[in-house]
Amino acid sequence: MTHDYSSSANWPIAAAMLPFAASHDAGADVWLDHLAQVVFEGLDCVDITDSWVRPGDLDQAALTDLGATIAQVGLRPVAISAIRRSVIDPVDGKVNLAYSHRTLDAAAALGVPVVSFGLHRPLLPDQKKVQWFWTEPGAADEQDAATWALATARLRELGEHAATLGIDVSLEMYEDTLIGTVDGALRLVESIGLDNVGLNPDLGNMYRLHRDVEDFLDASARCAPVANYWHVKSYSRDEDRARGLITAVPAPMESGSLDYRSAITTAISLGFAAPFCVEHYGGDGLSVAARNAEYVRRMIAVALGEATAAVRERTVNP
């Protein structure tokens, strides 16, 4: 599947399926209902988030049904996001690696050009008890040489498999993993050393933390040259240094604290040409994600100079 990045109108912006309940075994009728809601909100692309349906665990008949259902509603499947299935998990790493290979094969069967993998692990019990899971500590990767070598080897293995299928692998940034900082993320991509393996700079994952974080605009600019997919979402972040208080809650992209107008403009100027995926946690996540998609498309138009061109055209031809 090829995409047109020459205009904002054609740039692929996918809806994550995060707002929907786990529906792996629900079947085509339920999948149709969920995907129809995505279309009804005005979106034309979808990320098959595996918290919703796990393509890599579907048998051939069900995988065919999923592809037919996506086509029936008129969506383009631009990515699969395999989340919390770290290939270096100390307990389930090998199982997750096998699952990741199956996910790549399923992506090829569905005509999906990008698969996003992360190194984040399942939520811990305390994270499941609170309103916002990021306010409690999660599992953290060891940072020793053996862990880096294992991550490089297993992700390179996935990248090589993906290359035989014509698929890109995107590594989702997430706190306290090897790719929880820009330096770590760039180091891992360089260590893997494959043209089809890049970054998913989901910096919102870090920005929501109630602790110090990297500068958003600097981080997004540094990631842009090797980014090949981009989960985007925003938060309202407040810092009271005198009281040692930092808070963050989900917010629509245009009203959140992250300056995506500048980030998207800079990223595109640095060569970013890949799909976006809009996300939102809490409340009516799908409706907010749909509004986020409209915002992202406007920002792409700004980055491509379409906004200025439109004004000039009206001036010349009032």
SS (H, E, C) 179-243: CCCHHHHHHHHHHHCCCCEEEECCCHHHHCCCCCCCCHHHHHHHHHHHECCEEECEEEEEEECCC
Contact 32, 19 (CB under 8 A): no
DSSP state of 72: H
Query: Among 76, 78, 82, which Cα is nearest to 112's?
Result: 78
- Residue written as tokens 């933390």? 209
Does residue 311 carry a pLDDT above 90? Answer: no
Domain ranges of the chain: 13-316
- Residue written as tokens 């640095």? 270
CATH numeric code, 13-316:
3.20.20.150
3-class DSSP state for residue 11?
A: coil
Q: Which residues on neighbouring strands pair with residue 46, listed in sequence order? A: 15, 77
Q: pLDDT digit string (tens) for 189-233?
A: 999 999 999 999 999 999 999 999 999 999 999 999 999 999 999
Of 243 and 45, the one with more pLDDT: 45
Report residue 241's pLDDT band, with 50, 70 and 90 as the boundaries. Answer: confident
The pLDDT of residue 310: 79
Of 308 and 92, the one with more pLDDT: 92
Does residue 112 carry a pLDDT above 90? Answer: yes
Contact 97, 154 (CB under 8 A): yes
Amino acid identity for residue 280 in this structure:
H
The pLDDT of residue 1: 61
As a three-state string, the secondary structure of 256-308 is: CCCCHHHHHHHHHHCCCCCCEEECCCCCCHHHHHHHHHHHHHHHHHHHCCHHH
Report residue 312's pLDDT band, with 50, 70 and 90 as the boundaries. Answer: confident
Does residue 45 carry a pLDDT above 70? Answer: yes
Does residue 123 carry a pLDDT above 80? Answer: yes
Query: Among 302, 293, 292, 172, which Cα is nearest to 235's?
Result: 292
Report residue 113's pLDDT band, with 50, 70 and 90 as the boundaries. Answer: very high
The pLDDT of residue 34: 98
